[in-house]
Amino acid sequence: MSSRYVRLLAECIPDHDYFTDVLTALLSVGLIISYLPQHYRIVRKQSSEGFSPLFLLLGATGSASGMLNMIVMQWGVLKCCDVYSPADCLETVGGVIQVGLQWALFNITQILYMIYFPAHLKYVVARTSEGVPVKSRAKTSSWSLSITLSWVVLIHVLLETFVTAILLSTSPHSPDGSRRSEQLELWATFLGVSSGVLVVLQYGPQIWHTYNMRLVGALSIPMMLMQTPGGFAMALSIILRPGTNWTSWLQFVVAAGMQSILLTLCICWKVRQKRLQIDDFGRPLPPSVMITAASPAPDEPASVQARIEAAMDERAPLLGPNGVRVNPAQPIDQDGKKRRWWWFG
């Protein structure tokens, strides 16, 4: 029996906290369920329009920093798996699994964003001398930015993982966190603080982007309804974990607060869309024709056609020349005046 194994047996004493274990398990399952509506929505709509690429960049880098912070802070506890039973080991790594899930699920959103980036927004549309639109090979600024930021996300996580691995392999650590090198403490603090700052910066561009679009787009309201309170619960579960400090749970409190602002904004735009009879991407909804007792019989095509045209006329302010949709962020009312930003209906 090696001296390292004997030392781990002496230092590693399982800390059974069933409340924390149940909370972590419920949050992990809830985290997966909460992301499913967003992933399904992007795939079903075949579009990721409505996302800010900066939101995804900052979210991916922030969640990576948070995950690595959790690994650093609990590394001494994680090494106890060498002497723990499988059940005790699973209980020990619950916090890391929870934060790792957050990182993985958010990065799936990033991948889906790139896969389902709207085709009509990828390349610049030029016009011939006759005014006929022709797609060029020049990328739009938004598509070029999305590609660049995706590479930044990959390089960031590889670089931080490399530095973390080097420091963990060369620094002492104990299960209770009492023995940890100064370099490792500074690195863990950097990861935690940068994660919190990135989360604050993450929601800023998305809130501004959604505010300017005046549309929900591909954002999932059900996901945010689950994740906003879940963020505070996740922070609590991390606080109860051994070896963690404020740098480990800060990002979740900040994210939940910022996400509540985005959720409120999306609900306001949802109400506005319903009143304007447009969908989440600003397209006019198909007219609903109702036949009442006082209406002509449905076998009179001219009357039905007249009612359809009348219904379409009510949406005329949303259409420009040749039926092209105008900017839904500044709809025009029946008097020809632009509605202000506070017009939710």
Asked if residue 312 and residue 259 are part of one domain, the reply reads no
Rounded to the nearest 5°, which phi and psi values hold at 186?
Answer: -65, -40
Asked if residue 160 and residue 292 are part of one domain, the reply reads no
> In this predicted structure, what is the pLDDT of residue 304?
42
| pLDDT bucket at 148, cuts 50 / 70 / 90 | very high
pLDDT at 327 over 80: no
Number of domains within the chain: 2
DSSP-assigned beta bridge partners for residue 133: 127
The answer to whether residue 23 is domain-embedded is: yes
The answer to whether residue 230 is domain-embedded is: yes
Spatial separation of the C-alpha atoms in residues 245 and 235, rounded to whole Å? 11
The answer to whether residue 184 is domain-embedded is: yes
| pLDDT bucket at 191, cuts 50 / 70 / 90 | very high
| Helical (H) or strand (E) element with 126 | strand 123-127
Residue range(s) defining the domain that contains residue 213? 14-276
pLDDT at 297 over 50: no
> In this predicted structure, what is the pLDDT of residue 176?
56
From 253, 276, 299, give the residue that closes a domain.
Answer: 276
The answer to whether residue 4 is domain-embedded is: no
The answer to whether residue 344 is domain-embedded is: no
Asked if residue 218 and residue 315 are part of one domain, the reply reads no
Spatial separation of the C-alpha atoms in residues 208 and 192, rounded to whole Å? 25
Asked if residue 326 and residue 222 are part of one domain, the reply reads no
Spatial separation of the C-alpha atoms in residues 301 and 284, rounded to whole Å? 23
> In this predicted structure, what is the pLDDT of residue 342?
41
| pLDDT bucket at 110, cuts 50 / 70 / 90 | very high
> In this predicted structure, what is the pLDDT of residue 322?
47
Asked if residue 317 and residue 224 are part of one domain, the reply reads no
Asked if residue 293 and residue 271 are part of one domain, the reply reads no
Strand 133-139 relative to strand 123-127, pairing:
antiparallel
- Under DSSP, the state recorded for 19 is H
| pLDDT bucket at 270, cuts 50 / 70 / 90 | very high
Q: Which amino acid is at 297?
A: A
The answer to whether residue 9 is domain-embedded is: no
If you average pLDDT over every residue of the chain, what do you get? 79
pLDDT in tens, 285-296: 887 655 454 444
Three-state DSSP at 263 gives helix
- Under DSSP, the state recorded for 215 is S
The answer to whether residue 283 is domain-embedded is: no
The answer to whether residue 281 is domain-embedded is: no
Asked if residue 118 and residue 173 are part of one domain, the reply reads yes
> In this predicted structure, what is the pLDDT of residue 288?
64
Helices assigned H by DSSP within 177-245: 182-213, 221-239
Asked if residue 98 and residue 29 are part of one domain, the reply reads yes
Structure-token pair, residue 5: 């194994």
pLDDT in tens, 208-259: 889 998 889 888 898 899 888 888 888 888 888 777 778 778 888 888 898 9
Q: Residue 272 in contact with residue 214, Cβ under 8 Å?
A: yes
Query: How much of the chain exceeds pLDDT 70, in percent?
Result: 74
Asked if residue 296 and residue 148 are part of one domain, the reply reads no
| pLDDT bucket at 33, cuts 50 / 70 / 90 | very high
Q: Residue 24 in contact with residue 94, Cβ under 8 Å?
A: yes
Spatial separation of the C-alpha atoms in residues 174 and 97, rounded to whole Å? 20
Asked if residue 168 and residue 303 are part of one domain, the reply reads no
DSSP-assigned beta bridge partners for residue 125: 135
From 255, 276, 297, give the residue that closes a domain.
Answer: 276
Asked if residue 306 and residue 332 are part of one domain, the reply reads yes
Asked if residue 89 and residue 185 are part of one domain, the reply reads yes
From 276, 305, 324, give the residue that closes a domain.
Answer: 276
pLDDT in tens, 41-87: 999 989 998 888 888 988 899 999 989 998 998 887 888 887 788 88
